[in-house]
Amino acid sequence: QVQLVESGGGLVQAGGSLRLSCAASGTIQTIFDMGWYRQAPGKQRELVATVTSDGLSRYGDSVKGRFTISRDNAKKMVDLQMNSLKLEDTAVYFCQANIRTWIRRDDFWGQGTQVTVSS
């Protein structure tokens, strides 16, 4: 069993900043890629950012230059620093991780955390 729990979501004004965190726990042998995805009302889920176990990151075009993803392998956590937030960043943000357990390797998802950007 594996759980991913997000925290840090909330209400912020346009142009402001917010930092999201995600902690993984459970029967974890190895955590491979970790990342953040988001889904706005009426929209499909989209990639925000991902980072490999070696620290290599990639970002969705809409957040490049504004968001930064990072991870702490010892703490089994991944963070997302969001700067210069825009109204269109409003969405539910989901943490994702590809994890090898004692049984198999699978993708796991958190419950999501709401981020609302106001004018």
Over the stretch 54-96, which tens digit does the pLDDT of each residue have?
A: 999 999 999 999 999 999 999 999 999 999 999 999 999 999 9
Q: How far apart are the first and last CA of the chain?
A: 41
Considering only CA atoms, give the Rg of the chain. 14
Write out pLDDT tens, residues 7-52. Answer: 999 999 999 999 999 999 999 999 999 999 999 999 999 999 999 9
Question: And the tokens for 21?
Answer: 């965190």
The answer to whether residue 1 scores a pLDDT higher than 90 is no
Pairwise CA distance, residues 82 & 35, whole Å: 14
Closest to 110 in 3D by CA, of 82, 87, 88, 79: 79
49-70 b/e with 16+ CB inside 10 Å = b? bbbeeeeeeebeeebeeebbbe
Asked whether the predicted pLDDT for residue 112 surpasses 90, the reply is yes
State how far the Cα of 54 lies from the Cα of 33, in Å rounded to an integer.
9
